[in-house]
Structure 1
């Protein structure tokens, strides 16, 4: 195409920005707590060229790594493209060469066999390394001090999987990284590689198993003793891809599944438990053990939240008709044939954040995004085309909900959690907020807004921000982000 199409994947906060910039000493309103020392890294899709096809989607856009760097009360901002093999090939050609989302059969013949990943989904920091990840390929290592791309990361050639999840889990006690890759053996394969890296970032285990169908396993969870793989009926099909079609199509008539195994066990012992029909989830909140019970808390919906995945499966549903809730799946692992019990426990929403120390353990609060009807129509943008406009603090034990709403027409990205060393202090959450230039909802123009980073007391989000960092820019929507402390940055493998 000669220009970007004017669809939901290219307007509002999905408007291509194509800026690699650095800004020092951003304006700060309020006071940044002295303990907040480190960097907030964000994964931002932003296509460097107009796409090959008009029905291109935001998830197919080049990855950029953004950083808010906190240095004794001062904040700097930087953003750069992740120099994947794909990005560099198109940069050299000055045009798009890769076709539809995760479909190599639609690419220009000149890039046959090249790495297609755009590394645009999640920044992961572990073992002193910062990786930019997307689940269709390996992660790319980034210098956390310069944001320069070092190259694909395969654990020194030890990792055999062709893919690396965008959602690994780090055990807060052992420091180990638990991760997986689906389609590990190639396009549309049933292979899943389940892996563990020690606290220093050394790959110590890689085992392969097959899932019941080729599903998009976007996330998984761990407990102290188990690894849990929830999978949902959004399926890939090689014949459909060869015909130029979509990688994913949701099947409303198929069941979901839950795979459970000992986290240090053998994959041959994984148990598959059938779950509800037609449901979908992209992000789990947490999982933990309660005696013989394993509780898994999920951001569950009654169909796939992505319109392009629903439509590829012949499902015609308006976004506002989708039913969702934070839902608890419970399994009694002591039973010879475990079954799954399900219960809705919290309001609908997604892009959940947990305190790092609570990973895989009983927890008493989390944070996630939702839609606040009082915020007016949502700002166009984000991966599904409509942004969230409120932040929830949720207590799963008692169902208590606290909510921070936004100005009319504003949008909020996934929060990051920053712990405090002070006894009794609950830490902070921070998130990028996109605020329309015109406060009148009837006069707002998609794409005309300014982005700020807000810092909230984690246990008092309803009070609003204690500090607002002004970028003076309209930033493109992020997917996921992560907080990295100054101590970890100072000890990173790559230095500036």
Structure 2
């Protein structure tokens, strides 16, 4: 329609940024915060400091903002702060947006050659440091409690992705990076290990079957799995004004498998039909096979086709991949475990890389094929039983984060913490669930006096 003004969906509703940095004591409006629940839920997400330059601004490219929910003695407080990356500092100095996210050709000349990291995707605790992470830069250290920006952690010597895995037995942080090297959007991948003291003890590079957005990966006790799926990256395409990242369903999906103590030259590539995975739940070894539970899409959501046309809507469902290390076939066997659309899977991470029983995720009972999630689900992988708590009135929820009641508690005995957006009031609540009785609804609700924008990941730091 002539004269129609297109509103970018990532700048509207609860995707829209909030630009104030606040400190609130929250009012508990339902139930009681468990006395034994002590620590902080740290969450992060994109929150552009200024109006984006690119009219096709993508949610993945906004400035990182940390949200901290501190819980102690049945009381809860909230604090949020921008991650003051070099990008944030440069734009703050000039009072406007300078970088253009996935469309670098639209960046201001002032930004050319400058660091464009946003630290907006995940926030993890390792070796006594709180680290804000994203796809293309080094970890950025945040001071616990104050949320003060402390700067990049230099020993990583290059980009690190946002989804490291913590080994509960060794204390190691195992990580990877994609698109590494001098050429943007390259097909090179790094595999890295940081020991329990915070020292980077390994970084090895290898070539993938093609360049792709490799959002997450899987780690078992002895193996690492690298998924390379046809959400491809192409500098040549970007230089022609076409999407830098695009869905190319004619390409197969691959999973590279390597022993954690082996050389990257030993990687064996398994394959399956075109599909996409943003997030696995967990992976483990069983009888000479690797088992990986993943949220699988038929096609990558949120991204266009290679010619710039809009891609199909697609929702993820929990699937199990089996990779037979002793067999002659490199084909991945696939079994669907559940039929509820969902994302942001979590589990009891004391069992990371090992066999496990309990998982949780944010679900979409409306089957809208979007990232707007209106429920929290628990699945018992032994019985196959799923229980769900569904929000009403258009309310939507973040990734649920599991916290055990104690270090020695049985698997799955603990709490889920999450943040809900209350659509009618346009504000948010902090929620606590009994992890074993999700369907009963939250056992405690604390009111945030304004909204917390939709974000990506969070983690609980105890004490």
Shorter-chain TM-score: which interval?
over 0.9
Name the structure 1 match of 2:110.
110
Q: Following the alignment from structure 1 to structure 2, what is the Cα–Cα distance between the partners of residues 14 and 312?
A: 26
CA distance in 2, matches of 1:205, 1:471: 42
Following the alignment from structure 2 to structure 1, what is the Cα–Cα distance between the partners of residues 269 and 419?
Answer: 39
Q: How does 1:408-447 map to 2 (within 5 A)?
A: 408-421=393-406, 423-424=409-410, 426-437=413-424
Find the counterpart in structure 1 of residue 443 from structure 2.
Answer: 466
Matched, 1:242 2:239: yes
Matched-pair contact (CA < 8 Å) for 1:250–1:313: no
Aligned-pair distance for 1:331?
1.1
Structure 1 runs, 4 residues or longer, greater than 4 Å off: 312-318, 422-425
Which of 304, 308, 318 aligns to 1:310? It is 304
Tell me if structure 2 keeps the 8 A contact 1:8–1:385: no
Tell me if structure 2 keeps the 8 A contact 1:9–1:385: no
1:455 aligns with 2:448: no
TM-fit CA distance, 1:44? 2.1
Task: Give 1:33 deviation, angstroms.
Answer: 1.3
In the alignment, the residues of structure 2 paired with residue 474 and residue 25 of structure 1 have an alpha-carbon distance, to the nearest angstrom, of 13
Change (3 A) 1:52 1:475: same
Deviation at 1:386, TM superposition (A): 4.5
SS of 1:125's equivalent in the other structure is strand
1:180 maps onto 2:176 in alignment: yes
Q: Aligned partners of 2:387 and 2:277: how far apart in 1?
A: 23
Q: Distance in 2 between matches of 1:316 and 1:10?
A: 19
SS in 1 for 2:292: strand
Describe how 1:51-70 pairs up with structure 2 within 5 A.
Answer: 51-70=52-71
Gaps of 5+ in 2: none
CA shift for structure 1 position 29? 2.6
Q: How many residues align?
A: 455
Q: Aligned runs of 1:46-195 on 2, under 5 Å?
A: 46-99=47-100, 101-155=101-155, 159-160=156-157, 162-186=158-182, 187-195=184-192
In structure 2, how many angstroms separate the alpha carbons of the residues matched to 1:323 and 1:48?
Answer: 30
Q: Secondary structure at the match of 1:23?
A: strand
Cα gap change, 1:313 to 1:259, in 2 (>3 Å): farther
Deviation at 1:153, TM superposition (A): 1.4
How many angstroms apart in 1 are the aligned matches of 2:78 and 2:362? Answer: 24
Q: Hey, what's the Cα distance between the residues in 1 that align with 2:230 and 2:327?
A: 26
SS of 2:8 mapped into structure 1: coil
Answer yes or no: is 1:332 the counterpart of 2:324. Answer: yes
**Selected match of 1:221 from 212, 218, 230:** 218
CA distance in 1, matches of 2:312, 2:383: 32
Work out which of the residue numbers 274, 281, 302 in structure 1 matches 2:271: 274
Is the 2:47–2:62 Cα contact (8 Å) retained in structure 1? yes
TM-score computed with the length of structure 2 as normaliser? 0.94
In the aligned structure 2, how far is the partner of 1:337 from the partner of 1:326?
24
Which of 316, 336, 345 is the aligned partner of 1:344?
336
Per-residue CA distance 1:443-470 (angstroms, 9 max, x = gap)? xxxxx51200110001100000110011
**Residue 154 of structure 2 aligns to a residue in which SS?**
coil
CA drift at 1:6:
2.4
Q: In structure 1, how many angstroms separate the alpha carbons of the residues matched to 2:376 and 2:66?
A: 23
Normalized against structure 1, the TM-score is what? 0.88
Q: Is the 8 A contact 1:182 1:191 kept in 2?
A: yes
Q: Deviations over 1:9-41 (max 9, x none)?
A: 111111221111111354353111122111000
- In the TM superposition, what whole-angstrom CA distance separates every residue of 1:166-216 from its partner, at most 9, and x where no partner exists? 100001111110001111214122221101111121111111111110011
Distance 2:352 2:39 in 1: 21
Aligned to 1:490: none
CA distance in 1 between partners of 2:227 and 2:18 (Å): 35
Give SS of 2:105's match. helix
- In the aligned structure 2, how far is the partner of 1:38 from the partner of 1:423? 17
Residue equivalent to 2:392: 407
Q: 1:423 to 1:337 in 2, by over 3 A?
A: closer
